[in-house]
Amino acid sequence: MASLHLIPDSSFVLFLAPPAWGKTRMIEELWREGERGIIFISPLRALALEVHERFKKSKEVFYLEGQGEWRDVQKKFDKASKPFLIATPECLHGEFYDYLESLEKRPLIVIDEFHLFYLWGETFRPHLFESLMGFALSKAPILGLSATMAPELIQRWKFEFSLSMDHLFLIDLGNQTLLKPPRFKHFYFSFFPEMFRRRFIYELLHNQKETFLYFCSRRSEVDQWLDFCARRGISALGCKGGEVQSFIESLKKCPEPQVIFSTSALSHGVNLPPLSKVFIGEALGRKDFWLQMAGRGGRKGEQYELFSFDEFEESLKNKTKRFLKEFFFDFKVKWKLLINFE
């Protein structure tokens, strides 16, 4: 990836690679071996904090917590020979983009989880999309990172940034793929949710020395499952949107829970313990969302199984065959659970 050191001004490189490929490690190499400073922008505060934790030993690394801090951070940024600034988009404003545009030697802008700037930027976080326009107009070189960029978003990126940037480059090392596929995928049709939940409870009761991840469709479902585990003495942690930092602190105190329940909040970023099984508790209907959740398994090289209501690579005939295996196994599950809960 030596050529990434040479990204010229007014250029956008969209770098696509599977989850757990090592994109953060690549950024570290770009910073240490390159000549430019780096501004690392993440739409996820927890992920921005993790990156800061990794780099903070250097005196040239700065973390921007809010808009009001930029002027103080700017003084330090100007003095550093090769600064590394970490921030979320909401911490940036017009003065920051004007500053970028005024620099003779502009830093490399690294935009992590680039697809989220489109998916969230036009709905509940408009500042994400606004920040993209600010970066483009600054003429600074941009490196966008993603593992799950839908084809329609790639086409939109090409069209929109061709209007403001001189050069666009696409590097695809495995978009919408898994670096570590599950050793086995269990498929369920969405009109059999009770069968899915029974299988989860069965696995939970019979694999007590492993860690599972269960994605819930609603915040209230996280609470319901936590209550279920508490009443049975099962070690469990929960995570919901807006509470990721609190979850990280809980994980430090309990680094190997038997199960983690989460909304989509944990589908990106946050380091988790090795997972033996990943359960996606609703039909997502989108491959990019599904891959982000499925890709939480195997990040440390471990073998894992995936249980979900989605399958994007097989025919209906093959999906039906796989479902029938789960259907017949469900008779065993019902019997075992009947014994356990008598």
3-state secondary structure 225-257: HHHHHHCCCCCEEEECCCCHHHHHHHHHHCCCC
Helical (H) or strand (E) element with 308: strand 305-308
Residue 93: the pLDDT is 87
- Express each pLDDT in 32-54 by its tens digit: 998 899 999 999 998 998 899 99
**pLDDT level of residue 242 (50, 70, 90 thresholds):** confident
- Express each pLDDT in 120-165 by its tens digit: 998 889 999 999 999 999 999 999 999 999 999 999 999 999 999 9
**What does the mean pLDDT of the chain come to?**
93
Residue 304: the pLDDT is 97
**pLDDT level of residue 114 (50, 70, 90 thresholds):** very high
Residue 124: the pLDDT is 87
- Express each pLDDT in 58-103 by its tens digit: 999 999 988 778 988 999 999 999 999 999 999 998 889 999 999 9
Residue 341: the pLDDT is 62
Dihedral sign of CA atoms 138, 142, 144, 150 in order? positive
Is the pLDDT at 303 greater than 60, yes or no?
yes
Residue 3: the pLDDT is 66
Residue 155: the pLDDT is 97
Helical (H) or strand (E) element with 336: helix 316-340
Q: Are 262 and 214 in contact (CB under 8 A)?
A: yes
Name the residue among 303, 246, 311 with its Cα closest to residue 278. 303
Residue 8: the pLDDT is 92
Residue 1: the pLDDT is 54
Name the residue among 218, 212, 197 with its Cα closest to residue 264. 218
Q: By mean pLDDT, which of 11-15, 24-28, 166-170 is the weakest? A: 24-28
What global pTM score does this model have? 0.92
Q: What's the token pair of residue 190?
A: 């969405």
**pLDDT level of residue 200 (50, 70, 90 thresholds):** very high
Residue 336: the pLDDT is 86
Higher pLDDT, 94 or 302: 302
Q: DSSP string spanning 74-132? A: HHHHHH-SS-EEEE-GGG--HHHHHHHHH-SSPPEEEESSHHHHHHTTTTT-HHHHHHH
Residue 213: the pLDDT is 98
- Express each pLDDT in 245-268 by its tens digit: 899 999 999 999 999 999 999 998
Rg over CA atoms, the chain: 22
